[in-house]
A and B are shown apart, each in its own frame.
Chain A
């Protein structure tokens, strides 16, 4: 038996960096692997057991390889409140198509860095801090594999107008699952119940924490930025809760795939536009109308006329897995390619995401997946495969 394919192969040259909590994870598993230049825990109890635990209880993920940073107007900027926010937001809006100026205090948005051709250089989260004293600051989290390029891009586009301070020497822990709120309230602060999906707040516990109600599993949960010297105590306190187990990068991948979320470098890349990726919802009205972002010509054209290909969900009709790189056919003609694929523990079936020519992108369409030289029938399926369970704010509450 020889390994033909390994799912997560974003290894970088050179020896991988250790996570600040390396010893804490090594006491619980020996299954590590190089991902984006970091030696990451891939698996604890087993991919499927970890996946199901996260869907039913709460999983703790170490995502400290990612790129959190603060982007702030220089000291003495002299602006206050919304004015300070609009100023700093207008700087990053040079690079992303989301309405960042329109963020309310404490709000987070998902967006992407675009190139001049409208292709995605990375997907990221941008947050406006809730605290009045932090007006003029943004909290930004970019992907691990892109962080150096992203930070250089942001700095080059905003030279002298704002300062980017890396926070990737801290730890980023994600607590995800239906029990996440109860656990976070018990271990960190009862006030965590008061923030909703895609909101951010600072908490004075374990040093000072910056917590967003967000994640990449489709579950309710939190992403917690904690200083490295307090991270061990926080992780141990969370893991001591009966509802929490550590979860590796392997289950993180199957969870995000079931949730229909894109993995950068696989489902998104510099040749792919947000419209093709079915992420038009991330470009708010003000920005669409103004068209003041990189790649606007292509993006506005695709918004108006529709893209030539679209990201879709795909359900193979039998049990063979269709992983990244599998070609998609219709009546013997190639119409697309799988960009992520694997096994869904919740559906107990294989699932894939990929891009197909727009005319074949309607849910219910039959296609063939070319797996090991054999065409195998599959069906285009709406995303997500498993419904999201985000804790959304009630209407009328900001």
Chain B
């Protein structure tokens, strides 16, 4: 089970045929207090880079992009009542959606933990 990252600060964790997606700790910190998350429904299909979700903090709204292509198999229902889980546990309980990837090669092309850490350091 490995986690990879996009330049737009989404993370993807691949576990067999299911990928879990969320936003990174860095992104959550930049946003500040998350007050609303809008997630897609089960069965929705996204191309890599497509608008997939919206996350709103007290100060700003941001689009969340599908880091890899796939079909949504589940969304984190807890975020509708506890959006602040994104701040408290961005890479744990604050996950956004689960998808069934249509092309695992897209996952391999993303940054690994070390590369993402370097990328964030340079921002």
Q: Which residues of A contact B (CB under 8 A)?
A: 1-8, 42-43, 46-48, 51, 250, 254, 319-321, 323, 342-343, 345, 350, 372
Q: Which residues of B contact A (CB under 8 A)?
A: 8-10, 23, 27, 32-33, 35-36, 38, 54-65, 80, 83
Known contacts A1-B9, A319-B36, A350-B36; A47/B65 CB under 8 A: no
* B63 x A1 contact (CB < 8 A): yes
Chain A residue contacts of B61, Cβ below 8 A: 4-5, 321, 323
* B58 x A343 contact (CB < 8 A): yes
* A1 x B58 contact (CB < 8 A): no
A6 to B83, CA, bound (A): 19
Partner of B58, one of A4, A5, A250, A320: A250
A73 to B27, CA, bound (A): 55
CB A4 to nearest CB in B, in angstroms, measures 5
Chain B residue contacts of A250, Cβ below 8 A: 32, 58-59
A48 to B33, CA, bound (A): 7
Chain B residue contacts of A43, Cβ below 8 A: 32, 59
5 closest A-B pairs by beta carbon, nearest first, are A47-B58, A343-B35, A48-B33, A5-B61, A1-B9
Partner of A6, one of B23, B60, B63: B60
A4 to B63, CA, bound (A): 6
A202 to B11, CA, bound (A): 56
Known contacts A1-B64, A1-B65, A319-B80; A6/B35 CB under 8 A: no
* B63 x A46 contact (CB < 8 A): no
* A321 x B35 contact (CB < 8 A): yes
* B32 x A1 contact (CB < 8 A): no
A2 to B62, CA, bound (A): 5
Known contacts A320-B36, A321-B36, A372-B54; A6/B8 CB under 8 A: no
In the complex, the chain B residue whose C-beta lies closest to that of A48 is B33
In the complex, the chain A residue whose C-beta lies closest to that of B26 is A1
A266 to B112, CA, bound (A): 43
Known contacts A43-B32, A319-B80; A2/B65 CB under 8 A: yes
In the complex, the chain A residue whose C-beta lies closest to that of B52 is A1
In the complex, the chain B residue whose C-beta lies closest to that of A47 is B58
Known contacts A319-B80, A372-B54; A5/B36 CB under 8 A: no
In the complex, the chain A residue whose C-beta lies closest to that of B9 is A1
A1 to B59, CA, bound (A): 15
Chain A to chain B contacts (Cβ below 8 Å), 18 pairs: A1-B9, A1-B55, A2-B62, A4-B61, A7-B59, A7-B60, A43-B32, A47-B32, A47-B33, A47-B58, A48-B35, A51-B58, A250-B58, A319-B36, A319-B80, A321-B56, A343-B35, A350-B35
* B10 x A1 contact (CB < 8 A): yes
CB B54 to nearest CB in A, in angstroms, measures 7
Partner of B60, one of A5, A48, A372: A5
A5 to B62, CA, bound (A): 7
CB B49 to nearest CB in A, in angstroms, measures 11
CB A369 to nearest CB in B, in angstroms, measures 13
In the complex, the chain A residue whose C-beta lies closest to that of B64 is A1
In the complex, the chain A residue whose C-beta lies closest to that of B55 is A1
A7 to B59, CA, bound (A): 6
A48 to B84, CA, bound (A): 11
Chain A residue contacts of B8, Cβ below 8 A: 1-2
Given A4-B63, A319-B35: 15 more A-B contacts, CB < 8 Å = A3-B60, A3-B62, A4-B61, A6-B59, A43-B32, A46-B32, A48-B58, A320-B36, A320-B38, A321-B35, A321-B36, A323-B61, A342-B58, A343-B36, A350-B36
A320 to B36, CA, bound (A): 6
CB A246 to nearest CB in B, in angstroms, measures 16
CB A1 to nearest CB in B, in angstroms, measures 5
A389 to B80, CA, bound (A): 32
In the complex, the chain B residue whose C-beta lies closest to that of A248 is B59
A319 to B36, CA, bound (A): 6
Chain A residue contacts of B27, Cβ below 8 A: 1
A82 to B54, CA, bound (A): 59
A3 to B38, CA, bound (A): 15
CB B42 to nearest CB in A, in angstroms, measures 18
A174 to B4, CA, bound (A): 46
A142 to B62, CA, bound (A): 33
Chain B residue contacts of A320, Cβ below 8 A: 36, 38, 56
Known contacts A46-B32, A350-B36; A4/B60 CB under 8 A: yes
Chain A residue contacts of B58, Cβ below 8 A: 47-48, 51, 250, 254, 342-343, 345
CB B11 to nearest CB in A, in angstroms, measures 10
